[in-house]
Amino acid sequence: MTSSPLAADLYIAGRWSQPAHPRSFPVSDPATGELVAHVADGDLPDARAAADAAAAALPAWSATPPRTRAEVLRKVHALMIERLEPLARIITLENGKPLTDSRAEVRYAAEFFRWYSEEACRNLGSVSHAPGGGYRILVQHQPIGVVVLVTPWNFPCAMGARKIAPALAAGCTVLVKPASLTPLSMLALADILTEAGVPGGAVNIVPSSRSGPLVDHWLHDPRVRLVSFTGSTEVGRVLLKSAADQVLKTPMELGGNAPFLVLDDADVDAAVEGAMVAKMRNMGEACTAANRFYVGAGIYDAFVRAFVERMRALTIGHGLDEASQVGSLVDAATRDKVDELVRDAVARGACILCGGEKIPGPGYFYPPTVLGEVPVDSRVLREEIFGPVAPIVRVASEDEMVALANGTEYGLAAYLYTRDLAKGLKLAERLEFGMVALNRGLVSDPAAPFGGVKQSGLGREGSREGMQEYMETKYVAVEW
């Protein structure tokens, strides 16, 4: 399936290698249950070897001129676009999402390398007069050092790219632990990195079925200075505690529970279009996925009618089938949790407007589902669904909508539809979320600061801020 059978080994010091303990774990196609690959299972000796390689590569890579680093990153972007099709197929095979989503993911992932190829040369500092006179305050930013990157299965290529590109642009060297359900997409990037000129050891990729001990080993290696994590809030808390031992920097992109607000004056067609993207991109397996819909009483019936029609019309099938718009969810646990949340809402009085029943296997398919008149105490409104289910609540006032939207421990993304831009901007300020999409169904952009407030995370990825995460500020007091 990949261009090279070696792609299922560990990638350490710029070479493919077997783990010290010769073990592997299976990766399967969630749509069929068929085995896709045996992947080398990294363990502590491999973690040590990778950390040695990253530490050895650090002095030369951090001293490489920014322009040279930029050109390497630019080449990675070009190669990813050139190989978009095979990369997209790997994503679909291990994750289950339709090819259209996988292609979009590869483009999005590649764009991080292009954006950070531009940012690599914009590492600006400052010089100022000390207010009391007598000396100058010189501020510069230096690479933080060796960094650990832990990524999830839902965007197996892009979540790695979003971390690797700024880390390399800043001059850091990296240790990557991809999700065990989907390690092949990251491994597929390794050959591209080598070909583009990333030196051996600057990027090391170690899949492992024992993620806890492996990552913990890295977090206690004194050469490591940062752990950047994308995944669940639950695992994020574990890593934050572990990172405290060495006082590591800890950018965290964690779970979400995005509200989708449709005000009475919204353009129904635009709101439905946005809802389709915000809900159905990646079949809802996105931290930014619209998780709960709060719709004004005056527009509720028109919105729900048009939305249900669009959801019903989607084609379900194997992600590799070009006609498929809804692929398999990633595993049985994810599919069963989605169904459990639907059952809970129905038991409390919600009505199923479409979908709502598990599709028999093989594969972990769940149909696009809309739930109407969902009671506000339903689990589906409080927990991350991570599936193609849209629970809708009828809301009487905008103040109530904002209160419901903010009533969560999460604060990643929110969506808001209104024809009144001034009102929309005012409401956006009241929404306690790191990102607000106003009359749009998509927020992600490599040039924009992506991240959450409250228990959705710390720090930002993308934009100039994303590279700053990988740098330390150095102040020099100068007499001249």
Answer yes or no whether residue 30 interacts with ligand NAP by CB under 6 A.
Answer: no
User: Is 50 near ligand NAP (CB under 6 A)?
Assistant: no
Contact 310, 278 (CB under 8 A): no
**Angle, alpha carbons 281-282-283 (nearest 5°):** 90
Per the structure block, which two tokens stand in for 122?
Answer: 């914009």
Which residue of this chain has its Cβ atom nearest to ligand NAP in the complex?
231
* Residues that are catalytic: 253, 287
How far is CA 85 from its chain centroid? Answer: 21
Quickly count: other Cβ atoms within 10 Å of residue 399's Cβ.
Answer: 11
Segment interacting with ligand NAP (CB under 6 A) among 1-9, 92-100, 248-256, 373-381: 248-256
CB of 337 to ligand NAP, least distance (A): 11
CB proximity list for 414: less than 8 A, separation 6 or greater: 258, 259, 260, 261, 405, 428, 431, 433, 435, 436, 437
Determine if 152 is a binding residue for ligand NAP (CB under 6 A). yes
Strands (E), 186-321: 203-205, 224-230, 252-253, 258-262, 290-296
Which residue's CB is nearer to ligand NAP, number 216 or number 400?
216
Residue with tokens 């028109």: 302
For the record, the structure tokens of 158 come out as 């892009």
Closest distance between ligand NAP and the C-beta of residue 235, in Å?
3
> Taking the CB of residue 220, how many other CB atoms lie within 10 A of it?
13
Out of 92, 95, 123, 154, which residue is the one contacting ligand NAP (CB under 6 A)? 154
Q: Does 206 bind ligand NAP (CB under 6 A)?
A: no
Residue 449 CB, shortest distance to ligand NAP, in Å, is 12
Judge whether 237 and 208 are in contact, CB under 8 Å.
no
Tell me the site size for ligand NAP, rule CB under 6 A. Answer: 29
d(CA 305, CA 112): 38
Tokens standing for residue 218: 């890295």
User: With binding defined as CB under 6 A, does residue 10 bind ligand NAP?
Assistant: no
Q: Determine contact, residues 80/425, Cβ cutoff 8 Å.
A: no
Candidate list 102, 185, 228, 230; residue touching ligand NAP; CB under 6 A: 230
The Cα–Cα gap between 104 and 99 comes to 8
191 near ligand NAP (CB under 6 A): no
Q: Minimum CB separation from ligand NAP for residue 150, in Å?
A: 5
97 part of the interface to ligand NAP, by CB under 6 A: no
Residue 232 makes contact with ligand NAP by CB under 6 A: yes
Please report how close the Cβ of residue 384 comes to ligand NAP at its closest, in angstroms: 5
Quote the tokens at residue 423: 């009102």
The least distance separating ligand NAP from the CB of residue 166, rounded to whole angstroms, comes to 14
Work out whether 235 is an interface residue with ligand NAP (CB under 6 A): yes
Per CB under 6 A, 283 contacts ligand NAP: no
List residues near ligand NAP by CB under 6 A: 150-155, 159, 177, 179-181, 211-212, 215, 230-232, 235, 238-239, 253-256, 287, 384, 412, 452, 457
